[in-house]
Amino acid sequence: MLAVRVETEKNGEEYARVSAERLGELVLRIGADGDRFLVVQRIPDVPDVFVQVWHADGGGYQLEHRDGAPERHFMAELTDAGRVAEVMVRWSRHEDGWDAGLPWQLIRLPLPEPLPEPVPEPAAEIRKQVEEHVRELLVCGYANRAQLAEAAEEWLVSGDERPVSPAQARQLVDRLWRERLEEQAGWEGTTDPERVSRAFAALDARGIVAREDFTCCRTCGMSEIGEEGDGSSRGFVFFHTQCTEGAAAGHGLYLLYGGFDGSEETTAAVGREVVAALGEEGLTVDWDGSPERAMIVTGLDWRKRLP
């Protein structure tokens, strides 16, 4: 699978981690009215880095890519959809020379009028507090850039006082996001959060609804988890945002679990399956087998790659 997110014009469709074949199919599909472009971004997202294509039936393909800033926006005109798909797949794979041999032109995008003023930094103490909050969310690892920017803007709101503007929030988040990307570039192998994700995927396939970073708290999670299953689901396991924060702070990952029939027998059986699935991924769980007791995944090195 390609570590990319694809957005199409058609009904705002979004696809994550598609195969090379699927990306090719989407490129071949575009052209009709209301379905003439698609945009591909990396996972994790990198600010101002993407590739996109526009095509109308009967015409050529306008392939564009941005390389880190609006001032580095390039366009090439192609006639073959297969060639376009090949280039986009190679870009998605970070292949050296993916852009070679194409008639790229630097596109000078029109500047807005009047030109916007430079975004001032928030006051030093404000910036310090907001940065600390955003860094904590980055370590948790589930929020995307838009969600982080909203969190940064809202963090210190008091009544009508909003010390951080939307532009300041986006600027601050993009800087810290890039720092985190550089940090995680040095991580090797499978991380513990990825092991948790694999265990949850296996449980989901076995009829146990498994959700990560699900809702804000225990109360909301327990009231909403039933909506995630279907008639064949036997039980559930999840951790909520506060659990994520605890794991990111090094306190272990608390899991809530149970059976949809409400019986202690089913709850205990689900608990055993959860422990087994996590154990298959090399993770250790502190649980005494009681359906009345929460379980804790211990000894985690919480290095969660950005979404």
Give the separation between CA 186 and CA 283, rounded to whole angstroms.
22
How many C-alpha atoms does 238 have within 13 Å on its Cβ side? 25
Going from the C-alpha of 294 to that of each of 58, 241, 285, 304, the distances in angstroms are 61, 16, 10, 23
**What pLDDT does residue 118 have?**
86
> What is the full DSSP assignment across 21-83?
HHHHHHHHHBTBTTB-EEEEEESS--TTEEEEEEE-TTS-EEEEEEESSTTSEEEEEES-HHH
C-alpha distance from residue 128 to each of 124, 134, 152, 177 (Å): 6, 10, 11, 16
C-alpha angle 103-109-113 in degrees, rounded to nearest 5? 170
Q: Provide the pLDDT for residue 115.
A: 67
pTM (predicted TM-score): 0.87
In tens, the pLDDT along 103-124 reads 999 999 887 767 677 889 999 9
Give the model confidence (pLDDT) of 28-37 as tens digits.
999 999 999 9
Q: How far is CA 35 from CA 27, 29, 39, 51, 204, in A?
A: 10, 8, 12, 17, 33
pLDDT of 273: 98
Position 35, amino acid: D
Residues in the chain predicted with pLDDT less than 70, given as ranges, are 113, 115
In the chain, the amino acid numbered 44 is P
- Which pLDDT value is given to residue 109? 81
Of 169, 143, 141, 175, the residue nearest 157 (C-alpha): 169
Q: Domain segments of the chain: what residues?
A: 4-106, 124-184, 192-298
Are 114 and 15 spatial neighbours (Cβ–Cβ below 8 Å)? Answer: no
Q: How, if at all, do strands 37-42 and 235-238 pair?
A: unpaired
Amino acid at 10: K
Q: What is the DSSP string of 255-298?
A: EEEEETT--HHHHHHHHHHHHHHHHHTT-EEE--S-TTS-EEEE
Q: What distance in Å separates the CA atoms of residue 170 and residue 196, rounded to the nearest whole number?
A: 30
- What span, in angstroms and rounded, lies between the C-alpha atoms of 98 and 116? 35
pLDDT of residue 110: 80
